[in-house]
């Protein structure tokens, strides 16, 4: 006699129905959390994603901030969409009114909060420190102290004059929680990318080290009125160095480590280690932070016989001359064209 089929549990249909209902309810709940945006809120709520944080921790932080409706739903979506491992650390600001896929897109794209700061060519450390504080990235005094004698400066061997000349002019993007040391490190790192093997070979050929290079470049940066004249100005200064003539650069006389202001007319008569009216050769260090064009001019000066230049009274590029007599005649001409009364042109 054949075996009888196993008895079917009378509860099986009910259990199947319960399972289907449970799965449907879970799917409906997840769909609600995925597809329905949160309420909008103001001001934006900030969430920081640290490097190395687990997706569980990230989901909990976003849930606690009200950015998503459910940490569990976010985790499930991250696993199903294979985006959980693609999140970029950073500081994020959320205004609400977004669905879970929208939130995950921000995290994967790295749409974090940034503070943008632009450093023009020719600023001093003191002026850069002012801009750093104005941008909300730190205290001016703290940045300046770090740039003068901080751990990074010591590690790079930039003492005793500090990072003056080595803070590369550019536009930078930082986390709003960046420290002054991190800002300083980014600017220094950008500078050292300029010192390519080709640049170092050129420096060696010219008998320059990094400090002498940026010192010359900083003087060119402060003197140039038009970008095109940078290499010619560098050529004039190298000529004067070869002849053991003082550079007599007004910006060197005006430079002060503490950022103190003084008129050019008064500065040239002031005693200073940077005042090139008082000695021959380069000053002990840079007087500003030069840009790439001035660094290039210091590396590739125009070969010229000029020894002098003077700023036009009307502005614009300088007028260059080979002899002191010619230089004096140009100054007199400029004064006459200006009506004989204005500010004396700066002459080298």
Q: Consecutive 10-residue runs of the chain (348 residues): their mean pLDDT?
A: 54 53 54 75 91 95 94 91 94 92 94 93 96 92 95 94 96 90 96 95 95 98 93 98 96 78 53 90 97 98 95 81 91 74 44
Residue 36, pLDDT score: 80
Residue 272, pLDDT score: 85
- Say how many domains are in the chain: 3
d(CA 19, CA 123): 70
d(CA 209, CA 326): 34
Q: Which of 160, 192, 224 is the C-terminal boundary of a domain?
A: 192
Residue 15, pLDDT score: 52
d(CA 4, CA 158): 93
What does the CA dihedral 146, 149, 151, 157 come to, rounded to 10 degrees? 130
In which region does residue 259 sit, left (phi positive, over 0), alpha (psi from -120 to 50) or beta (all else)? left
Residues 227 and 265 in one domain: yes
Contact 142, 125 (CB under 8 A): no
Residues 204 and 300 in one domain: yes
Residues 96 and 147 in one domain: no
Q: What is the CATH number of the domain that holds 123?
A: 3.30.1490.480
pLDDT tens, residue by residue, 32-70: 666 788 889 888 999 999 999 999 999 999 999 999 989
For residue 74, give every residue at least 6 positions away whose Cβ sits within 8 Å of its Cβ, in sequence order, or none: 33, 59, 62, 63, 68, 100, 103, 104
In a domain, 283, yes or no: yes
For residue 222, give every residue at least 6 positions away whose Cβ sits within 8 Å of its Cβ, in sequence order, or none: 122, 249, 251, 287, 288
Contact 98, 158 (CB under 8 A): no
Q: Which of 109, 136, 169 is the C-terminal boundary of a domain?
A: 109
Taking alpha carbons only, the member of 25, 22, 94 closest to residue 63 is: 94
Residues 164 and 85 in one domain: no
Taking alpha carbons only, the member of 34, 36, 38 closest to residue 26 is: 34
Residue 11, pLDDT score: 53
Residue 175, pLDDT score: 87
Alpha-carbon distance values, 151 to 47, 73, 148, 257, 333 (Å): 30, 46, 10, 19, 52
Contact 348, 236 (CB under 8 A): yes
Residue 138, pLDDT score: 86
Residues 204 and 273 in one domain: yes
Burial of 304 (0-12, 13-18, 19+ CB in 10 A): middle
Could you tell me how many helices (H) and strands (E) the chain has, helices first? Answer: 15, 6
Q: Which of 109, 138, 167 is the C-terminal boundary of a domain?
A: 109
pLDDT tens, residue by residue, 68-114: 989 999 998 999 899 999 999 999 999 999 999 999 999 999 998 99
List the domain range (segments joined by +) for residue 182.
Answer: 115-192
d(CA 117, CA 194): 20
Half-sphere exposure of 268 (CA within 13 A, CB side): 12
Query: Collapsing DSSP states into helix, strand and coil, what is residue 22?
Result: helix
Burial of 191 (0-12, 13-18, 19+ CB in 10 A): buried
Q: What is the pTM of this model?
A: 0.77
In a domain, 157, yes or no: yes
In a domain, 22, yes or no: no
Residue 289, pLDDT score: 98
Residue 58, Cβ neighbours under 10 Å: how many?
21
In a domain, 68, yes or no: yes
Residues 268 and 292 in one domain: yes
Residues 175 and 215 in one domain: no
In a domain, 299, yes or no: yes
> Degrees (nearest 5) of the Cα angle 121, 127, 129?
115
């Amino acid at each position: 006699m054949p075996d009888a089929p196993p008895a079917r549990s009378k509860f099986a249909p009910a259990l199947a129905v319960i399972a289907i209902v449970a799965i449907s309810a879970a799917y409906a709940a997840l769909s609600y959390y995925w597809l329905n945006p949160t309420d909008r809120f103001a001001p934006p709520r900030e969430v920081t994603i640290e490097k190395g944080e687990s997706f569980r921790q990230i989901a909990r932080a976003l849930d606690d901030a009200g950015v998503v409706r459910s940490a569990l739903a976010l985790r499930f979506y991250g696993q199903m969409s294979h985006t959980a491992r693609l999140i970029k650390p950073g500081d994020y600001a959320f205004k609400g009114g977004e669905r879970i896929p929208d939130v995950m897109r921000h995290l994967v794209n790295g749409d974090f909060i940034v503070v943008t700061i632009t450093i023009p060519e020719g600023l001093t450390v003191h002026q850069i420190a002012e801009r750093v504080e104005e941008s909300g990235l730190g205290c001016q005094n703290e940045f300046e102290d770090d740039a003068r004698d901080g751990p990074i400066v010591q590690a790079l061997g930039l003492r005793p004059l500090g990072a003056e000349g080595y803070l590369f002019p550019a536009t930078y993007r930082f986390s709003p929680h960046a420290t002054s040391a991190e800002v300083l490190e980014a600017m220094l790192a950008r500078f050292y990318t300029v010192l390519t093997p080709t640049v170092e070979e050129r420096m060696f050929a010219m008998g320059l080290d990094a400090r002498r290079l940026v010192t010359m470049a900083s003087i060119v940066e402060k003197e140039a009125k038009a970008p095109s004249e940078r290499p010619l100005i560098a050529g004039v200064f190298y000529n004067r160095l070869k002849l053991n003539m003082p550079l007599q650069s007004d910006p060197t006389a005006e430079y002060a480590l503490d950022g103190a202001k003084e008129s050019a007319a008064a500065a040239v008569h002031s005693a200073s280690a940077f005042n090139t009216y008082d000695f021959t050769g380069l000053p002990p260090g840079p007087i500003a932070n030069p840009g790439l064009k001035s660094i290039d001019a210091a590396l590739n000066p125009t070969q010229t016989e000029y020894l002098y230049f003077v700023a036009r009274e009307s502005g614009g590029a300088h007028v260059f001359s080979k002899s002191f007599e010619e230089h004096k005649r140009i100054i007199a001409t400029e004064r006459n064209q200006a009506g004989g009364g204005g500010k004396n042109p700066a002459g080298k």
